[in-house]
Amino acid sequence: MNDLPDPAAAVDPVRLAADLVRCPSVTPREGGALALLERALAPAGFECRRIDRNGTCNLFARWGRKGAPRSFGFNGHTDVVPPGDEGAWSRPPFGGEIADGWLWGRGACDMKSGVAAFAAAAIDFVRATPPDGAVILAITGDEEGPAQDGTVAILDWMRDAGEAMSVCLVGEPTCPDTFGEMVKIGRRGSLVATFTAEGVQGHSAYPHRARNPLHALVTLLAELTAEPLDAGSAHFEPSTLAITTIDTGNRAMNVIPARATASINIRFNDLHSGQSLTARLQDACRAVSAATGVGITPEIHVSGESFLTPPGPFVELVAAAIEAETGIRPALSTSGGTSDARFVKDHCPVVEFGLVGQTMHQVDERAEIDQIRRLKAVYGRILRDYFA
């Protein structure tokens, strides 16, 4: 691992990102990534504290006094998904190689380069123009995993410790094709439901002597997918419902099984809540069970509610800084999957902006060197404009 830059010099986000990529921090391993960041932040005057919970490592770092009237927060994660078949990579997944204008390795795109960019921007900013307020970095090692003891643990600790962010920017990759083209101002909610149907096993030649759980599941799934959940809302695309699996484990072609399961995933907008969708699914199960005589039990997990940070001063500040640095006016979007912004939104207004995300989670994941440096410049401008 390379030594950190001279504490008196501007922080090179590419070098810091490369060092982070060399940390094998596959969830839930810390891999040295948070320790590396602490060594970079502490000499610049950041008070660093590890907020570890249930084996998950997290880092809270604050420059400025606790309880400052204005506090700008950054949120991100240093954990990464597994590299998969390392033999399929053209460069070592944890090599952090810089070649052909790219930083190569697992996490280079999602999202160690984003963390490096906002850490570098924050360090340079507080050294050059110490603000009247606080700068907070909340960095987790549990975003790609269960996400129960990561950002949630940091926010729980902040609440108990009297720490607060006035606003927060999450550094996830947000741009589909061109750097600067998109800011996330919200996210859809996510719900997973597994339906277990219990019938009566029998011979397929005598179906009247059995109660077929598959017929009941097919009926249920057909009803759930017959009509769209909605037509979208002012800031959200229409909600979606996708059947993800149907399973019986039955290898006998002349036997009606006694049990079968099916799962769906719903990505929902602000016209719904996890509670309203749960009630809807439970009602559908009861109706099909009554009609077929097959018991259907739903197991439902809501991993996040939909949320929106409405366009206003904070969103405009971020968008204007991006346009000033890139020449592109970013679209305000709520598309994509979930992120830790779904937890931060209960603490303070939150938006997301980061790199182009085309290679995240892929073999040969990489980030363009120029983009990493430009991302640091955007974050630095956002800090200057916020505290101006």
12 is catalytic: no
Give Cα 27 distance to the centre of its chain.
13
Selecting among 110, 142, 143, 172, the annotated active-site residue is: 143
When computed from its CA atoms, the radius of gyration of the chain, rounded to whole angstroms, is 24
Selecting among 30, 79, 340, 365, the annotated active-site residue is: 79
Give Cα 354 distance to the centre of its chain.
12
Q: Which residues pair with 49 in a beta bridge?
A: 60
**What are 118's two structure tokens?**
């906002």
Beta-sheet strand order (sheet of 295-304):
240-247, 259-268, 189-198, 295-304
**Contact yes or no for 256/203 (Cβ under 8 A):** yes
**What are 366's two structure tokens?**
């990489």
79 is catalytic: yes
CA–CA gap between residue 285 and residue 279 (Å, rounded): 10
Name the CA dihedral angle for 84, 85, 86, 87, rounded to a multiple of 10 degrees.
-170
Q: Would the CA dihedral through 156, 158, 162, 168 be positive or negative?
A: negative
* Catalytically active residues, by annotation: 79, 143
